[in-house]
Amino acid sequence: MLLEGRNAIVSGGSQGIGTATSLELAREGANVCVLYRKHEDEAKQVVDEIKAMGRKAIHLACDISSFKDAERVVKDTLAAFGRIDILVNNAGMNWDGVCWKMTEEQWDRVIEVNLKGYFNFVRQVAPLFKDQKYGKIINITSINGIRGKFGQSNYSAAKAGIIGYTKALAKELGPFGVNVVAIAPGLIETAMMSQNESRDKIIDMAMNEMALKRIGLPEDVATVIAFFASDKARHITGEVVKVDGGQYI
């Protein structure tokens, strides 16, 4: 197993990519703190599945845009596991609108969650990783942070910011043995997507862009995250890795 004895925090761990990642890290031997904001029952189910694998797991409520919440979560995770080795910044949101109609609230909230939320957690774990001279930070961005997307200027800006943030962190933390990478998924089939009334239209548009002509699943992203959380990727840092089936080449 790639992650035997490691301890991880996964934000947005109660759904979609976060759930698949939490379970994949556990399969590879890690203990996992599963963070959620609304979906407590789902988070509990993920924790139960992880414990059934023989790993330790906890679930904690958290608004990632709150610096104090991030501080509390890291403290509670340390109390439960004794050490933190892996941070997966995954939680996020979108609140779409064209730029000439977007409200200040729409802009601020998406930036606050999708960009500041990542800072909040990195700020808590960076001193730990620096002192122990070991750590893995995996930031989930998006292909739309690379190319931009119509109607998502706030989301695209936040996801582009994550890419710049990842590269800066890699330079700052690299001398202390800490790897930092960004994963940029394309369209991924999640429960949220399946409930979207425009699902078929969105999938048709994405399929026209994709070289592989298949829609990605959360597990397709999770296995890549697990690799970068492991020492198999010890000589890779500061990179942005697309997991998009060739949607954006």
Catalytic residues: 155
Return left, alpha or beta for 60; rule: phi > 0 is left, psi -120 to 50 is alpha, else beta.
beta
How far apart (Å, rounded) are the C-alpha atoms in residues 214 and 219? 14
In this structure, are residues 31 and 110 in contact, taking their beta carbons and an 8 Å threshold? Answer: no
Q: State residue 43 phi and psi, 5-degree precision.
A: -65, -40
DSSP state, 112? I
Return left, alpha or beta for 40; rule: phi > 0 is left, psi -120 to 50 is alpha, else beta.
alpha
HSE-up (13 A, CA, CB side) for residue 238:
11
Pairing of the two strands 86-89 and 135-140: parallel
